[in-house]
Amino acid sequence: MPLEVLENAALRPFNTFGVDARARFFVRITSTDELSELDHHPLMGGLRRLIVGGGSNLLFVSDFDGVVVKVDLRGLQEVGDTADAWLLEVGAGENWHGTVESLVASDRPGLENLALIPGQVGAAPIQNIGAYGLELAERFHSLSAWDFELHRAVTMALDECNFGYRDSVFKKDLASRRLITAVTLALPKRWHAIAGYADVANELKHRGIVQPSARDIFDTVVAIRRRKLPDPMCLGNAGSFFKNPIVSREKHGELIARFPSLVGYALPGGRFKLAAGWLIDAAGLKGATRGRAGIYEKQALVLVNRGGATGAEILALAREVQDKVAERFGVELEPEPVIV
Ligand SMILES: Cc1cc2nc3c(=O)[nH]c(=O)nc-3n(C[C@H](O)[C@H](O)[C@H](O)COP(=O)(O)OP(=O)(O)OC[C@H]3O[C@@H](n4cnc5c(N)ncnc54)[C@H](O)[C@@H]3O)c2cc1C
């Protein structure tokens, strides 16, 4: 069947902020053969391209005058092992949380700290998703992708992805150039619980669990996240809207002298990561509403669509947050979602 290209397609179902925007063209990819066909399609010559997974880390501020490529590649299979890890290849279109849950249930633990992160497996490397003491990079072996400049499939190993804090080569040099088709995860053969993160440790204590299993960590993380974060099905959002800023030791010293309750963590090398949520809260913005956009009452790091907000309204609020935090603390906040 030839590739189906939709024109003037609604993007609201494809972003968890729930904002209205339209794509000039929209294509759904369900097999790697279709990628080769798409690459040679006349449309791909002069138009911009946007790859979309679950839309949980995107903010559309206008219509997209190009081709939106929605990834729908499925599959999960064990493809071998190394001395330390089981290797599992997962299709880019698989749901991330569903994959974590099924792996924990089938005795392949290792991703449980990343439970309930929305979106698809193929997007996980883009910002090196992380939560509760674990980042994807620690469970990553390699990935397969389609390169729209080389016009062929490529594979990439861990050291080619330049993973950093909510960052990778896919946010920079390779943005929109490589479409990830599958991710090979490396799950530890000798598993141990990662339970040092304060929220996780407290919740386990509260539940009376001393030696948590992977399932216990999974359940704990799910419970914490359900309490703290708004469900995008009920209140549009993209999770944390800003990265936690990293500052020098001097800057941290100066801030803590002025604001003794400042929340920050020392990083190896002497720098400090500040809790962006604390800065926004201390700037008096937690719970704020501007038109139909707002800041979540329970977590100042989350911008929300209170119903019918446009991407531009949400972005204007984000700019206000950046300005107020810069004015009060002299710290720049960098947005985490991709703004389109
Ligand atoms: C309630 C909530 C909580 C969240 N919590 C966390 C958290 O704890 N930690 C965290 O790291 N993130 C978190 N996020 C952000 C988000 O869930 C992740 O970044 C997720 O990986 C995005 O997946 P997605 O499929 O929705 O990507 P999309 O939003 O569709 O896309 C995000 C970016 O990835 C690119 N992309 C998507 N798929 C592919 C592909 N196959 N190939 C190439 N490029 C691709 C897109 O072009 C875009 O640049 C949260 C979001 C929400 C709504």
Return left, alpha or beta for 294; rule: phi > 0 is left, psi -120 to 50 is alpha, else beta: beta
**What pLDDT score was predicted for residue 176?**
86
Which candidate, 118, 29, 125, places its Cα nearest to that of 71? 29
Answer whether residue 219 shows pLDDT above 80: yes
Query: Which residues are annotated as catalytic?
Result: 166, 240, 336
Give dist(CA 251, CA 244) in Å, integer: 15
pTM of the entire predicted model: 0.95
Nearby residues of 74 by Cβ (< 8 Å), 6 or more positions away: 30, 91, 93, 94
The predicted-structure confidence for 166-204, as pLDDT tens digits, reads as follows: 999 999 889 889 999 999 999 999 999 999 999 999 999
**What pLDDT score was predicted for residue 340?**
95
Strands 140-147 and 293-295: unpaired
**What pLDDT score was predicted for residue 117?**
97
The predicted-structure confidence for 248-287, as pLDDT tens digits, reads as follows: 999 999 999 999 999 999 998 999 999 999 999 999 999 9
Mean pLDDT of the chain: 96
Answer whether residue 108 shows pLDDT above 90: yes
Task: Band the pLDDT of 141: cuts 50, 70, 90.
Answer: very high
Task: Band the pLDDT of 98: cuts 50, 70, 90.
Answer: very high
Would you say the CB of residue 182 lies under 6 angstroms from ligand 1? no
Would you say the CB of residue 221 lies under 6 angstroms from ligand 1? no
Amino acid at 197: Y
Give dist(CA 55, CA 270) in Å, integer: 36
Alpha carbon distances (Å) from 77 to 33, 87, 102? 19, 9, 12
| Segment 71-75 long-range contacts (CB within 8 Å, at least 24 positions apart) | 71/29, 71/120, 71/122, 71/179, 71/180, 71/181, 72/28, 72/29, 72/30, 73/29, 73/30, 73/31, 73/32, 73/122, 73/181, 73/182, 74/30, 75/182
Beta bridge partners of 16: none
Give dist(CA 101, CA 307) in Å, integer: 31
Write out the two tokens for 182. 């599958």
Give dist(CA 178, CA 160) in Å, integer: 13
Answer whether residue 128 shows pLDDT above 80: yes
Ligand 1: centre distance to CA 77 (Å): 22
| Main-chain dihedrals φ then ψ at residue 203, nearest 5 degrees | -65, -40
Amino acid at 308: G
Name the residue with the closest Cα to ligand 1, atom 51. 239
Name the residue with the closest Cα to ligand 1, atom 10. 129
Express as a percent the part of the chain with pLDDT over 70.
100
Angle formed by the axes of helices 214-228 and 198-206, nearest 10°: 110
Ligand 1: centre distance to CA 261 (Å): 31
| Main-chain dihedrals φ then ψ at residue 113, nearest 5 degrees | -65, -15
Task: Band the pLDDT of 45: cuts 50, 70, 90.
Answer: confident
| Contact status, residue 146 vs residue 153, Cβ threshold 8 Å | yes
**What pLDDT score was predicted for residue 186?**
98
- Region 293-298: what's the mean pLDDT? 96
Ligand 1: centre distance to CA 206 (Å): 31
**What pLDDT score was predicted for residue 275?**
95
The predicted-structure confidence for 46-71, as pLDDT tens digits, reads as follows: 899 999 999 999 999 999 999 999 99
Answer whether residue 298 shows pLDDT above 90: yes
Name the residue with the closest Cα to ligand 1, atom 52. 239
